[in-house]
Copies of this chain bind each other. A is one copy, B any other.
Amino acid sequence: MNSKIILYEIAQRMKSVDDRISISSMQFAELLDVSQQTASRYLKNLEHENLIKRKIGARGQEIELTGIGIKILNEFYLNLRDFFENKKDKKEIFEGRVIKGIGEGAYYVKEYCGKINEKLNFMPFEGTLNIKLNENFVGFNFDRFVPVFIDVFKKGGRTFGKVKCIPAKLMVKGKKNEKEIGKEIKENCFIIIPERTHHEDVVEIISEFNLREKLGLFEGSRVRVELNGF
């Protein structure tokens, strides 16, 4: 059984996020339709995962959610809300400005390029375009787009982590010295999301081309990124 579901079942018996409930493993077992032993193990695991806090007494246990537990449930809730309140369409595009990367991107693209070619079928330009999201797009949920994964691999004793690649279109206003002044140019690319470490408000983009050069981008250039799923 998934932790989220169990957490949800607990939450449902609470009045609010900072509430606490008293329940025995036997009662909880009946609610979930499992044995008392299993219910006990579930609660123990949740505690171990730091999703709930417990105080165990002679006639049951007092349970409250931890910050992490609340956060997980809240993500759950927000995603469902987006789904049902139909707010997803508005989030298919995000906007931001080009910022300087720390040069790390180039190194990693070099290391990953064989895998990128294998999975995405193109040889990437050895560098990433870093985009700082405009404030109202921070927290953009990338989970709802079907990604391509590049799995963990080892090379020369180093381990390179799993990376999520989401197909996207980079959109910029045409450069001044061209016919298409002011016209929007769309360029296919991939958003790169490392499984381990990434900033909340910066996304990295890779492409077959040097996007800065091809699209005439500089530090601070406004860009829009469109995601279409598959």
Contacts and interface: CB of A to CB of B under 8 A. Distances in A.
A83 B73 contact: yes
Nearest to A92: B15
Nearest to A89: B15
Contact of A5 (B2, B15, B89): B2
A94 to B, nearest CB: 15
Contacts of A1: 2
Given A2-B2, A5-B5, A79 B12 contact: yes
A84 B17 contact: yes
Nearest to A15: B88
A193 to B, nearest CB: 13
A159 B121 CA distance: 63
A138 B104 CA distance: 58
Contacts of A209: none
Contact of A145 (B4, B13, B144): B13
Assembly stoichiometry (copies): 2
Interface stretch (A23-31, A43-51, A175-183, A218-226): A23-31
Contacts of A16: 83, 86, 88-89
A185 interface: no
A146 B81 contact: no
Contacts of A145: 13
A84 B74 CA distance: 8
A11 B146 contact: no
A77 interface: yes
A153 interface: no
A229 B21 contact: yes
A160 interface: no
A83 B230 contact: no
Contact of A146 (B4, B27, B146, B149): B27
Interface in A57-102: 73-74, 76-77, 79-81, 83-84, 86, 88-89, 92
The 6 closest A-B pairs by CB, nearest first: A77-B80, A15-B88, A2-B5, A12-B144, A13-B144, A16-B86
9 contacts: A12-B143, A13-B144, A13-B229, A15-B144, A16-B89, A21-B230, A23-B230, A31-B146, A31-B147
